Chains A and B, each alone.
Chain A
Amino acid sequence: MQVPILKQGEFLIASIQSALTDTDLLQLRDNLVQRAGDWRARGVIIDVTVLDVMDSFACRTLRALAQMLKLRGAETVIVGVQPDVAFAMVQLGLSLEGVMTALDLEEGMALLQRQTQRGGHNVRSSARAH
């Protein structure tokens, strides 16, 4: 199952559509690291709303992905972690440390806009008030 990667301004959105195998995840990682550089993305949002389980492999891959994207010049935000998933993850000791998180796509966009603005390179005029 391929994960579609959408371009929205200077951000990329990877919208996961169904449960992913480990291979799918690795492919998503490779694709995103490639595209982020190609499209000069400043931020990447990974939407995991449909996932009803996040195992240690998924967490490790996402953390590695965030670090790789950072090296390629983009911030990463994971959005849409469901309450049950969040609870199960902390019970397993998985907390996605070092990766930014947001409630949903909208909040993720707002967060990225604030973050990239702070870097001083942003020339947008319509940045949100807070």
Chain B
Amino acid sequence: MDDKTTFPADTSSTHALQRELVRHLRDMRESLRLEWVKQMTAKGLLAGLTPAETESESITIYDTCVGCLDTGRYDAAQDYARRMAERGVLRAMTSEQILGGMLTLRDVYGRTLADKYQGDMERLYRALDIYEPVANKILSIIAIAFIEERERIVRQQQEAIRELSTPVLQVRPGLLILPIIGVLDSLRARQLTEQLLRAIRANRAKMIVIDMTGVPAVDSKVANHLLQTVDACRLMGAKVIVTGLTPEIAQTIVTIGVDLSRIVTVNDLQGGLEEAERLLGYRVIAIHEEAA
């Protein structure tokens, strides 16, 4: 392959060859497309697509790729890749299906060029020089579009989880509960504290029960966040009771040596609520006991 670099770069003949390639691929469109679909079917890459969808999609992709080769511009490929990524991810197509399909198309194009120029190795190399960069560029456009779409969805979901995950609920006048579910990181702990402080002002809360049952692990950072939250609540005149520290978490906290003695802790949420009600001056009496 080294000797091909010694050919003088003849732009006019390169251009002519490019036209020839485009014409060839357009002429052979139906047979090559069917060959492509056949190969994809054999590899199981078309699972979940109807025949009609397969046909229209394959025609669009085929024409888009030839169009890129023809014009040297990739806007159409970029647009199409973005739309395909949106649909593909939504319809739970795997990246293997989409990238595998494109790689198959690349092979089909390459094979037909090899067939066409098999008698003339020099022309074949030059044709491949024209065709391969275009094919690679299209593939990378599609791969990137696919990855970007995935990342966009991950970001969106993270956002949604973050918003959902810190509800501050009022159970009685002046009594809020804050059930924490999932791992606490610095960002979340900060958001949680800010939300809680605003809720204290909005609800005129005097007692807060923070339930940690849903927190899988605690490290010194999380423990310190908890201490900060308790101090901040106190500055706003609210008292905090922490509940639901599992045996494992209790052991970790003592082992890593964080001093939580400033915090009032109660075994479970029920105990925490009862303690909070007691401190607020509520007494809950069952109706039959009251009557007795």
Question: Which positions in A face B, CB cutoff 8 Å?
Answer: 78-79, 81-87, 89-91, 95-96, 101-104, 107-108, 111, 129-130
Contacts and interface: CB of A to CB of B under 8 A. Distances in A.
Contacts of B205: 103
- Listed from nearest, the 10 A-B pairs whose CB atoms lie closest are A130-B281, A83-B197, A102-B237, A95-B231, A86-B235, A86-B232, A90-B228, A103-B237, A90-B232, A81-B235
Nearest to B205: A103
Given A83-B197, A83-B201, A101 B232 contact: no
A86 B197 contact: yes
15 contacts: A78-B235, A83-B200, A83-B236, A84-B194, A85-B235, A89-B231, A89-B232, A89-B235, A90-B232, A91-B228, A95-B234, A103-B205, A104-B204, A107-B204, A129-B281
B206 A87 contact: no
Given A83-B194, A86-B197, A107-B206, A95 B281 contact: no
A79 B236 CA distance: 7
A97 to B, nearest CB: 8
B280 interface: yes
B137 interface: no
Contacts of B64: none
Interface in B198-220: 198, 200-201, 204-206
At the interface, is chain B mostly helix, strand, loop or mixed? helix
B238 interface: yes
B193 A107 contact: no
A103 B200 contact: yes
Contact of B232 (A79, A87, A107): A87
Given A87-B194, A130-B280, A130-B281, A101 B235 contact: yes
Contacts of B236: 81, 83, 86, 101, 103
B182 to A, nearest CB: 21
Contacts of A96: 235
Interface in B229-243: 229, 231-238
A101 B205 CA distance: 13
Contacts of B232: 83, 86-87, 89-90
Contact of B206 (A82, A90, A103): A103
A78 B234 CA distance: 11
Contacts of A104: 204, 237
Contacts of B238: 103
Given A83-B200, A83-B201, A107-B206, A101 B231 contact: no
